[in-house]
Every structure is written in C-alpha cells, then in structure tokens.
A and B are shown apart, each in its own frame.
Chain A
Amino acid sequence: MIDGLGAVQNILLVGGTSEIGLSIVDSIFEKHRGKHLVVTVKSNSDIERVQNEMGRRFNGVTVEVVVMNMLSSGSLAATTGNIFGKSQIDVVILAAGVLPPAELSFTNPQIAVDSSKINFLGPIEIGTEAIQQFRKQGHGRLVVISSVAGERPRKDNYVYGAAKAGLDAWAYGLADSVHGLPIRVLVVRPGMVRTKMSAGLPEAPFTCDPDVVGRAVLKRLNKGPALIWVPGKLRIVMSVLRHLPRFVFRRLSRGVNTQNTPLA
C-alpha cells in the first residue's frame, strides 16, 4: 500500500543478491515503514542462506525468498503473478544482472545468449507482468536497473551493453506509456558501481558505491524525472561521449578484459 506521503510498504526485489538492489531496499525501508519484502534467488540451494541474510538485514520486515531463474523464461511471469497474488507489491526492483567475462561473451554463443536472458529478456518478462499487476492493484513503482553501458556500446562490454540498451529502451518507452497513472517506471542508469560484479575491473571515472544508487532512487520514487543517472554528473559526461567520433571513442574504451570473472 502506498500512503498519502508516498511511503511504500511492500517490495519485490528481483535479484536478491544484487548489491544495488539491496541498497535501494535499504534506502526505502530506512525512510518508509516497510512491511514485507520478497527477494528472488537463482536456485533452491540459495533460499536458506538468503533468507537468513535478509532477516538480519531488514529487521521488522517479513521476508520471503522465491526462486526465479532468469534462464527459465516463460515461467517468470507466472511466478511474478503468484507473488502479487499473495500480497500487494508497491515496488518492484529489477536488479538481476550479470556481467559475463568479456572474452567468453564475445566468443561463446551460449554465454552471449544466456547473459542476455538474465540482463534483458528475464527482466522484461517480469516487468511486463508487474505492470499488469500494478494496473490491477491500482498503483506501483517499477525500478529498472539499466546501465550507462547501454548508452554507447564499447568494444569491451558490447554484449552486456546491448542487453542493457534493450532493457533501457523497453523501460523508457514503458515509463511514457504509464504517464498520468499512479504507476511509475524508473530507469536507473548507474555508471560503474563498486560491487561483486565489477570487482577486479579497473575502476572507471565516477565510480560510486551502491548506497548512492539507493539514495538516488529513493529521492525519485514518487516524483521527478523517470530517468536517473547515478551519479548525476554522468548525464553530462555521457551526452558528450555519445557524440564523440568513433575513432576517438574506440581509443577511450578499455582493452578487452581477459580476466575470467565467473558468471555471477
């Protein structure tokens, strides 16, 4: 239920181990009277561990852990529907994502496809169902974690970038389609964020911590532009980068990262 001051009670976090996602939940529950949190995990074996972790992290909130494997497309919408069937969900955060080892994603078709399912197809399946559920319950907030990587593809992360570009375009159009309704879609475009996913990669300029993303989302949960750059300065940086001639941009991009970071 969303109250007169825009406070929310129930959140569904898709990608229950996402540090960005969790920091968004942190920020919201710090300010609002949280009641219920549903987080999704990849497999049954994660349930207990995550349940314990969440219980510790979010005191006074009931936590439910649900299995949602982004690779099993077709079942994601149904699982989402079930979650809404049990309780109203005010905020859905689409934070599941994976940054595949660059080399592998460029050479191994299966990894290119699977990572795109996690980064693009899975979220839009869940997001599409969530919006239908929002219409039914009368209100809702969908937070979509995009990335600056989708803004202009780079030679070192174009598979990830392409999926995020697709997700971003989907969410951006969706945000306009629900304009004027008590439903809001937030497109969050963070730069590099210090998380497990980016660990081991050289730090890019304007790298920030997950809590910066959390606070930025909280601020825009109910009003303001639907597109959020984190940190805000990236909006200007990217509007310059977007228009650089290709030969300059190519040189600015880092070389291919050959470190074999495992599929998160």
Chain B
Amino acid sequence: MSVEVLGGWGGTPVCLTEIHEIKTQLPVDAQAKSQSIIARGLGRGYGDCAINGFGITANCQSINQFTMADGVLDAEAGASIDEILRVVVPRGYFIPVTPGTKFVTIGGAIAADVHGKNHHKDGSFGNFVIELDLLIADGTTHKIGPSINPKLFWATIGGMGLTGVILRAKIQLTPIETSKILSTNVICSNLEVLMDEMIRADEFARYSVAWVDTLAGGKHLGRSILSIGDHATEVDLNLRLRKTPLKYSSKQLITFPGIPINGLLNRFTVRVFNGLWFQKARLSKKKKTISLDSFFYPLDGIGNWNKMYGRDGFIQYQISIPDNSAHLIRLILEKFSEQRIPSFLSVLKRFGPQGDGMLSFPSKGWTLAVDIPAGVEGLGELLDELDEKVVEAGGRIYFAKDSRMNSRYVKEMYPLIDEFRDVKRTVDVHNVFQSNLSRRLGL
C-alpha cells in the first residue's frame, strides 16, 4: 500500500489516494471498514473516473495474463490492448473495438464500454464481451455475461467500475489477414463537406474518423481530414509485405519528459501543428497501406503526450449528439473557434445504434471530442453553456472523459441511471465502489 497523488490522463483533478495492488480479492474488507474502492487500469481515463480521494484506488496492472484460442481472448483485466496485440496480431486476430490508444486495459475498456472508429458498423466494446468475472463488494466473484445475470452484466458494461472489480473477461476477436490497413484520406474544406462525406462513409467504410482543425473559422470552419479504412487483405499488399503479412511491431517514436512543461501549447504552436498536419495529408498519397499503429494509434507514438499541456493539465470534452441535432456540432466548433481555444486536432466520429450498457456512452449520431487546456480563461462557463444545448438536444457527455459536468444533467443524459442504481444497490449495499467521478456526479 502507498499513498500517492493521482489524477487521470488529463492531469486534473488530482487527489491523494491509497493505492493497493489487486489480485483476486479486494484489498481490504471494505464493507467492514466502510472504505471505498475503485479499480484502475492504465489511467487513460481523462478525468476523475479512476481515482478515489476518499479511499482506495485498486491497481489492476499486475493481473495481466491472457491466452487465446479459436479467436476468443481470455484475459485478466489488467492486460493492455498493447500487450494483447503483440501476441494476437501475428496469429491473425485484432481487437474487435479499439479506442484511440492501445494503452488501455481490458478492464478499463469494459468499464468505459469504449468505442472505436467502427462504432457505426460494430458497436462498442461490450458487444464483444462473451463473459466476465466480477469481484463484488461482499468479496465473492461472479461470472456474468449477456445471458448469465444480464442485468448485472449490462450495468457493468460502461458502469465505470461501480458495480465491482472486473477480474477477467472473454472477448471475441476479429480475424484479420494482414497487419495492415488500407486507408484513404479525404481532405474536407469545411464542415458541410465533412459531414456529407461521413454519412456517405457509414455505408461502406468499416473504420472512419475525422480530424478537425478547431482553430479554423469562417468559411473554413470544420476543415478536416477524413480517414477511412479497413483491414487490408493479402492481395492488397505488395510482394515485399506479402512475405510476412501479419508482421507487427510497435514502438514509440519519442517520449516526452515525465514532468509537465508549461507554455508549450498556445494558439500559435497549435496553429502551426494543425497546419503541418494538413500539409502532410495533402502531400501524401490519398490511398495507402499503413500499419495498424499509424491508423489507430497515431498519438501513441509520442510517450507522455499529455504532459505537453503543462501543469494545469487538460480536459477532453466529448459529447454525442443525435443525427437530428447535427447543427450543434457547427455551433460548438464556432464557439471554440471564436474563443480561439488552442485545441489540437479534434475528433469527429459517427455512432451507430446504442448498445445495451446502462451507462454506455455511444448513441446513434455524432460524437465530437476536443482536447482543451484546463487553464483557458472562462472555460467552465463556456462548457456549461454548451452542456445545456447538448442536453436539450438529447445528447450526452462521456463519463470516461469528464471531470467537470454538472451533476444535474446525469438523469437526462443517461435515462437508465435509476435502473443502474437499482442493480448497484443489490450487489453493493454499502456503496463500496466509488470514485471521485461517482461522488461528484452522484452516480
């Protein structure tokens, strides 16, 4: 056990918390000691979902063994997508849903019910969980799945770790012929063009994502690069690559110092960076075969990139909006552009139908994710104003990214919250599983 200062990926907020390693049992008899616990994986949740200032943060990284048979992954919760890909890709499989970083654990991916660039086709991570082992507050472990105790299962998928500690899970993997992605970049000069292209891409593209330059305004508002792709088949590869179609290596290009550096990110540097990104896309081939890493995890190439935002840290504002309120995307981008918020390329994605997770984030329509330095003057007020519009439109905020939303919107954003609370009450009578997020929002 150690007491440490801990935060999320955004570096804000931070708190002092007791850190315990977790293996197969709860670190303490939490019920008897009325101490609270939240499980934590690799700490890629941006806000306060995996910190517990008032109790124990249970580190799951040491339970990371996994095996694979017939395309089914059987992994302990602390195994990361990174570790898993190194083993399964050369054997012809890929993780069915992947977030924009491979440094997430299986437990974290389930607890946040993460989505990927294929949500419009395949849905979220929870769709591929065959079963999982959940350690609940009374110290017992339960096997749950879509057909074994489904209520508890769907409360746990996207449940932010509040039903218990996920210890193990079986995941259906996706077969692949090669370790390459056949990717196409479409440069879109403004938001209209982009949104039309994206809706069109829903039909044929397995993976699609757009990088939006948030600083561009006026007639360039929504200037973006739409990146579309699918797993390359063997015939797509050139002769050299065809010799080792499943070869997979992954390395970090550079690593940032572990300490935050102030003043690196401002309107000027971000403008230059965004400009270069577009120039690179313009100059490179539109259609090409690239590695899994460069397609799915461009930012993973830079270790500790979160430290770039300086001591104040940053937040990610990620919202989903139904199709019929797509105009809100424009309004939000206009606000950010007007206030000249220095944000690196923001991400716009399509969502398919909502899954069964009670607190799962993805729901049919659009999702926009914007990284914003936390020190920006007036940011709280601006985001509060946007939240109101998002709620009115029937949209929601992603708990895994949030560190600031108003608790009064929870019910409107997540209509199944009461059902979730009912399930939680039955398995966690004394409310042992808590995080800063759950207390802040009263989940």
The chain B residue with its CB closest to the CB of A32 is B380
Whether the pair A4, B16 counts as a contact (CB closer than 8 A) is: no
Q: A180-B5, A182-B5, A182-B15 are in contact. Are A4 and B53 (CB under 8 A)?
A: no
Q: Does B179 contact A (CB under 8 A)?
A: no
Q: Which of A1-27 contact B (CB under 8 A)?
A: 1-7
Q: Could you tell me if B16 and A135 are in contact, using CB atoms closer than 8 angstroms?
A: yes
B53 near A223 (CB under 8 angstroms)? no
Distance A135 CA – B312 CA, assembled complex (angstroms): 21
Complex CA gap A6/B311 in Å reads 13
Name the interface residues of B1-41: CB closer than 8 Å to any CB of A.
5, 10, 12-17
B436 touches A1 (CB 8 A): yes
Could you tell me if A1 and B440 are in contact, using CB atoms closer than 8 angstroms? yes
B379 at the interface (CB under 8 A from A): yes
A3 to B406, CA, bound (A): 10
Residues of A within 8 A of B53 (CB): 137-139, 182
Identity of the chain A residue whose Cβ is nearest the Cβ of B15 in the assembled complex: A138
- Cβ A138 vs Cβ B404 within 8 A: no
Docked complex Cα distance between A120 and B47 (Å): 38
Contact status A5-B439, CB under 8 Å: no
Inter-subunit contact B379/A5 (CB<8 Å): yes
Residues in A whose Cβ lies below 8 Å from that of B14: 139, 182
A250 lies within 8 A of chain B by Cβ: no
A88 contacts across to B, CB distance below 8 A: 54, 439
**A254 in the interface, Cβ–Cβ < 8 Å?**
no
- Give bound CA distance, A1 to B10, whole Å: 17
Contact with A along B47-74 (1 / 0, CB 8 A): 1100111100000000000000000000
Interface membership of A181, Cβ < 8 A: yes
Question: How many B residues touch A, CB cutoff 8 Å?
Answer: 28
Q: Is the CB of A5 within 8 A of B54?
A: no
A57 at the interface (CB under 8 A from B): no
Q: A88-B439, A136-B54, A223-B312 are in contact. Are A3 and B16 (CB under 8 A)?
A: no
* Residue A233, interface by CB 8 Å: no
CB of A6 within 8 A of CB of B12, answer: yes
B413 within 8 A of A: no
Least CB distance from A52 to B in Å reads 26
Query: Are B17 and A7 within 8 A (Cβ)?
Result: no
| B374 close to chain A: CB less than 8 A | yes
Q: Quick check: A5 and B15 within 8 Å, CB to CB?
A: no
Q: Is B118 an interface residue (CB 8 A)?
A: no
Question: A5, B315: Cβ atoms under 8 Å?
Answer: yes
Within the complex, which residue of A2, A135, A136 is in contact with B13, where a contact is CB–CB below 8 Å?
Answer: A2
Task: Kindly report which residue of chain B lies nearest to residue A31, judged by CB atoms.
Answer: B380
Chain A contact-residue range equals 20 to 34
Verify if A242 is at the interface (C-beta below 8 Å from B): no
Main DSSP-derived SS at the A contact region: loop
Q: How far is the CB of B38 from chain A (nearest CB, A)?
A: 12
Residues A5 and B16 in contact, CB atoms below 8 Å apart: no
B439 cross-chain contacts in A, Cβ below 8 A: 1, 88
B403 is an interface residue with CB less than 8 A from chain A: yes
Q: Quick one: CB contact mask for B345-383 with A, threshold 8 Å, 1 for yes?
A: 000000000000000000000000000001000011000
Residues A46-65 near B (CB distance < 8 A): none
Residue A33, interface by CB 8 Å: yes
State which residues 394-440 of B face A: CB under 8 Å.
402-404, 406, 436, 439-440
Which residues of B are found within 8 Å of A181, using beta-carbon distances?
5, 16
Contacts of A180 in B (CB 8 A): 5
Residues of A within 8 A of B404 (CB): 3-5, 7
B10, A4: Cβ atoms closer than 8 Å: yes
Taken together as a complex, chains A and B put the C-alpha atoms of A192 and B51 apart, in Å, by 42
When distances are taken between beta carbons in the complex, the residues of chain B under 8 Å from A138 are: 15-17, 51-54, 436
**What's the nearest-Cβ distance from chain B to residue A142, in Å?**
15
Cα of A3 to Cα of B313 in the assembled complex, Å: 12
Residues of A within 8 A of B440 (CB): 1, 3
Given contacts A139-B15, A182-B13, contact A5 B380 (CB under 8 A): yes
Contacts A181-B5, A223-B312 given; indicate if A4 touches B13 (C-beta within 8 A): yes
Q: Shortest Cβ distance from A225 into chain B, in angstroms? A: 14
A-facing residues in B317-365 (Cβ within 8 Å): none
Chain A proximity of B431: nearest CB distance (Å): 14
Report whether B15 and A3 are in contact in the complex, using a CB–CB cutoff of 8 Å.
Answer: no
A-B pairs with lowest CB-CB distance, top 8: A138-B53, A4-B403, A138-B15, A138-B16, A1-B440, A3-B404, A4-B404, A182-B14
Chain B interface residues toward A at CB < 8 A: 5, 10, 12-17, 47-48, 51-54, 311-313, 315, 374, 379-380, 402-404, 406, 436, 439-440
28 contacts between A and B (CB under 8 A): A1-B439, A2-B13, A2-B15, A3-B13, A3-B404, A3-B440, A4-B10, A4-B47, A5-B12, A5-B374, A5-B404, A6-B12, A6-B13, A33-B406, A88-B439, A135-B16, A136-B54, A138-B16, A138-B52, A138-B436, A139-B13, A139-B15, A139-B53, A181-B5, A181-B16, A182-B5, A182-B14, A223-B312
